[in-house]
Amino acid sequence: MRKFAILGHPLGHTMSPEIHRRLFALSGREGEYEVLSIPPEKLRESFPLLRELSGFNVTIPHKVDIMEFTGALDESARRYGAVNVVDCRGPVTGYNTDCVGFLKAVQPAGADLSRPVCVMGAGGAGRMFAIESALHGAAVTIAVLERHFSLAEKVRGEILSLRPGARVEIMALDSLSGDFELLVNATPCGMYPHADEMPVGEAVLPRCRVVFDAVYNPTETLLLQKAAAAGCLTVGGMAMLVWQAVAAHEIWDGVSYRPVDIDALVEEMTREVARKFC
């Protein structure tokens, strides 16, 4: 039996096993899926164990350091300097499917990434959201706390190196202004157990057509609740989590899935999170 896993630390609340087991069932392919909680200081000594797997997913804090284990990197992994999927067949290859997950998640809402996009946060996820949006033609606003302006400037520089002439603006979260096709929350604000928090004031929301929150616990954050009340289309983080997992199976097995089945899986996992944690 082929073996797969999620690698990270800590991994007490991961939904990956449930998602991937369902994807194996949908594709008809066999595969065991386990949780490998390995602290950073023990990652390198765990390489022989990882090499015995057919493939694995990677989450915090190993997305960068795991690149030492890979012999090759896909373009997406090279672009973002981070890996979240490893294929151990033949040359060990690292991929980044978070970008695919993001694009697939906002697609059903009809988000047009050639129009203005605001990304709240400039960390790992925020950096990826901003770069992907810019590469698709968006005028990007990076909204951060003032103490994170230098980080946002680095992201702006990366965008301009990849797409010279791109329109990139940096704003403070507490003075955010403008009209946006898509507003993205890439901060932990609103994540359980701080579910009563929002990264931005309600006054911003009526000026946004689509609001995507990368947080998936709670399943409907306060930001999404307020956005829906303001008339926005909303997308929760579970959609991205499932779609990046789908991309992993496409890499491992060359399989494809019906969108209707993945939509149903997103709903199933959303209910599961609500049952377990909310």
State CA 242 to chain mean position distance: 10
Q: How far apart are CA 249 and CA 221, in angstroms?
A: 28
Distance, in Å, from the CA atom of 100 to the CA atom of 132, rounded to the nearest integer, reads 9
Sign of CA dihedral 86, 87, 88, 93: negative
β-strand partners of 82: none
Going by C-alpha positions, the residue among 180, 236, 248, 191 that lies closest to residue 212 is 236
| Inter-CA distances, 133 with 80, 105, 118, Å | 14, 13, 9
Strand, coil or helix: what is 114? coil
Separation CA 195–CA 274 (nearest Å): 13
So which residues are the catalytic ones?
63
